[in-house]
Amino acid sequence: MRCRNSGEHARKTIVRCEPDVKISSVADCLFCQIASGLIPAAKVMESNRALAFRDINPQAPTHVLVITREHYPDLAAVARAGDGLLDELAGLAHQVAEAEGIDEPGYRVVFNTGPQAGQTVGHVHAHVLGGRALGWPPG
């Protein structure tokens, strides 16, 4: 088994995988289960390899998560894959912002990466946030 559960943070189990192993789905990964339809989510938009749905605990009037359909543990893994998937994630994030009407006056896209940044789900996801003024620096 190449993936293992490696910790608890905010009651979510983080699944970590070997960096260069590409796998399509992890059985106990929450976002793999959303991607496959096993767990319901409020879908906003989708593309060939990515899916956007509303965050269950929104931190702004618009708070949408953009995930890969296949399992990559974090932004670093997607960047390493280097096959245009990161472009697709960023493109879908921007399309979500346009569809939600937050592209003007502006929105934020965040990839929490690793425990110190507050990543609680070990499947890459971009947060698309907007609809209110967003403070800087983030907490």
| Max CA distance (Å), the chain | 47
Nearest to ligand 5GP of 83, 117 (CB atom): 117
Please select the residue that binds ligand 5GP; options are 62, 68, 95, 119, rule is CB under 6 A: 119
Nearest to Zn ion of 29, 85 (CB atom): 29
Query: Does 57 participate in binding ligand 5GP (rule CB under 6 A)?
Result: yes
Site string for ligand 5GP, 93-112 (x = CB under 6 A): -------------------x
Do residues 100 and 65 touch, judged by C-beta distance below 8 A?
no
Secondary structure (DSSP) of 60-80: SSEEEEEEESSB--SHHHHHH
**The tokens of 131 are what?**
């609809």
Query: Does 32 participate in binding Zn ion (rule CB under 5 A)?
Result: yes
Whether 94 is catalytic? no
Do residues 41 and 54 touch, judged by C-beta distance below 8 A?
yes
Query: If you search the block for the tokens 């997607």, which residue do you land on?
Result: 78
CB of 123 to Zn ion, least distance (A): 3
Contact footprint for ligand 5GP (CB under 6 A): 30, 41, 53-57, 65, 112, 118-121
